[in-house]
Amino acid sequence: MFWESPFLGVKKASSEIKGFGFNVINYSYSQTDVQTYLSSFEKLIKEEPDGIVLVPAFNNKTKNILKKLEIAKIPYFFLNINLKGFNNLSFIGQDSFKSGYLAAKLLHTCLGDNPQILTIKIASHLKNDSILERIKGFDGYFIDNQEESSSLNIIFKSIKSKKSISKKLNYTLDSNPKIKGIFVPSGRVGLISNLINKKNIQNYKVVGYDTTPNNLKCLRKNKITFLISQKSFNQGYESIIHMSDFLFKNITPIKKIFSPIEIVTKENLEFVNIYKQEFEKFYYSN
């Protein structure tokens, strides 16, 4: 559900620049199937585009893709996920390290000195540079501020078996009663909070990412304390606007265009994603 938001942002920007002669073509792929990624790129490159906005996945395969783009001298942006060491014209997304730093500060503020925190990771996400940076930022907060904390980590191999995740998760929480904070460095925070025993969920302060419908529902029910939004609709929108400015007006963007780090709570969730919701109604009604 996360990727619908930047996709709609792309669609909104596309409709605005269409009058200037731009044609924006979207290519999708499965995050779990590298062949769909390569196949989409092959179709894309045959179109001989003037510019590309790319969500880079499957790092090893992406290196070969980017070599082809650079040989063809096609300018490209990274969207949402930033890879280091490449000649992308710009990166549009969140400062992941600072967002992880903020997550730690929120939990520390809620829990007080020497907080006991459980960090929950999904194995496939640990190949994502943005999520790794969030974890570094989270740990960095306690190091920089010389704050004592006790941290326990769980890594789930996949999210397919909710029953096994629930069993391991609740066993860990029951076995470590001093844990009062839970950090999920991905958009799966709603899934995780739904698997915690109902009688215990109110005992924890839970922080995670992304304003997907399921996460907002959990926030509304007090299963999540804070969500950190990266304004993904804006990311999609800005990527197309900046690329069109480069191609049409020869305006070179700055190397990193960071989206706001927004703290979402139960009290302000109704004001979140307003522009996305307005365009969403228009897009799906047409």
Residue 284 has what pLDDT?
Answer: 78
Q: CATH class for domain 96-229? A: alpha beta
Is the pTM higher than 0.85? The answer reads yes
User: Are the folds of 4-94+231-260+274-285 and 96-229 the same?
Assistant: yes
3-state secondary structure of 92: strand
Backbone angles phi, psi at 77, to 5 degrees: -110, 150
Angle at 125 between CA 127 and CA 213, to 5 degrees: 145
Rounded mean pLDDT for each run of 10 residues along the chain, 286 residues in total: 90 95 93 90 92 88 89 94 90 96 95 91 84 94 82 87 92 93 95 90 93 94 95 95 96 94 93 79 75
What is the number of other CB atoms lying within 10 angstroms of the CB of residue 165?
21
CB burial class (10 A; 0-12, 13-18, 19+) of residue 136?
middle
The residues, any chain, with a CB within 8 Å of residue 71's CB and separated by 6 or more, are: none
Domain residue limits, the chain: 4-94+231-260+274-285, 96-229
Instruction: Enumerate the β-bridge partners of residue 246.
Output: none
Residue 32 has what pLDDT?
Answer: 80
Residue 79 has what pLDDT?
Answer: 95
What CA–CA distance (Å, rounded) separates 23 from 11? 11
Quick one: which of 243, 235, 233 has its CA closest to 17? 243
What CA–CA distance (Å, rounded) separates 235 from 204? 31
What CA–CA distance (Å, rounded) separates 186 from 129? 12
Quick one: which of 63, 73, 74 has its CA closest to 37? 63
Largest alpha-carbon pair distance within the chain? 62
What CA–CA distance (Å, rounded) separates 117 from 121? 13
C-alpha torsion sign, points 35, 40, 46, 49? negative
Residue 95 has what pLDDT?
Answer: 96
Length of the chain: 286
CB 11 within 8 A of CB 279: yes
What CATH number labels 4-94+231-260+274-285? 3.40.50.2300
